[in-house]
Amino acid sequence: MTPTDPVAPAAAPANRPAPPLLVVCALGVERWALRGGDWSGGKAVLTATGMGPLRARKAVTALLGDGGGAYGGLLAVGFCAAAGRGISPGDAVVATGVRDEGECSIEIPSSALLARLLRERGMTVHTGLLHSADQVVRGAEARARLHAAGVTGIDMETAAVLSAAGRTAPGLPVAAVRIVVDTPERELLRPATVPSGVRAWRALRSTVPALTAWHRTVAPRPGAAAPAGDIDRNPAMPSVTPIRTLPQEAS
């Protein structure tokens, strides 16, 4: 699909703001958390692709089908599982690289910048390799194998998101941050998941100022900066929410 809301072209006059940030998550609950964050530092298009690498790849390819010129950067954001012990629910994992179960392996040069911006806002941040699995990874033994191979966090979509972006919009700044929702000590579907999930949901919402700061750094506004809150809004969204939202599944 193609976004219906217009944005300034890449060759816009110097007094126009930079193209918005594209924030890609998988689940509606992740998008819900992000929508309530403090977006006063910039504008963004926020979309949930649906779960799994196939949906993520299809959605991002469609969104960036024009080469990505409508966006100033792309962030893959959402929840993840920790591969090893010593990481708590609500901690952030900033990917220095991402891989899948096939041949995809991507390094992320701007990870140090994003990690610093999150730490400056009081978050506990771990950096390392993010592994995108084809299905939910369960059991301490499976996680231990991934951790021994250098993996810090586990999700399902990030590799597909970033590989699609690299093919469709080469040169577009990208990065990834995931909030830990379960750990080897507190796996999903256990009673401790409920408080851990709430903690992770709140942490995900609190990442927003760092996301917009990352965007301002990698895609600075040309010319004079637009006043805070001077953004394009989807009429279907509350006027106080400075992001535009695409459908749950872009297809």
- Residues with Cβ within 8 Å of 159's Cβ and at least 6 positions away in sequence, in order, are 53, 98, 99, 100, 104, 106, 130, 132
The pTM assigned to this predicted structure is 0.80
Counting the structural domains of the chain, the total is 1
Residue 112 lies in a domain: yes
In a domain, 251, yes or no: no
Is residue 185 domain-resident? yes
What CATH code is carried by the domain that includes residue 202?
3.40.50.1580
Query: Rounded to the nearest 5°, which phi and psi values hold at 40?
Result: -65, -20
CB–CB of 228/242 below 8 Å?
no
Of the candidates 6, 10, 44, which has an alpha carbon nearest to the alpha carbon of residue 25?
A: 44
Each residue's pLDDT expressed in tens, for the chain with a length of 251 residues: 333 333 333 343 445 667 999 999 999 999 999 999 999 999 999 999 999 999 999 999 999 987 778 999 999 999 999 998 889 999 999 999 999 988 889 999 999 999 999 999 999 999 999 999 887 777 677 888 888 999 999 999 999 999 999 999 999 999 999 999 988 766 665 545 667 788 999 999 999 999 999 999 998 455 434 333 333 322 222 222 334 555 433 33
Host domain of residue 34: 21-222+229-245
Residue 97 maps to a domain: yes
Which spans in 121-182 are helix H? 140-148, 158-168
Query: DSSP secondary-structure letter at 163?
Result: H
Residue 82 lies in a domain: yes
- The answer to the question of residue 16 being in a domain is no
| Segment holding 76, helix H or strand E | strand 73-82
Residue 194 included in any domain: yes
> Could you tell me if residue 233 is inside a domain?
yes
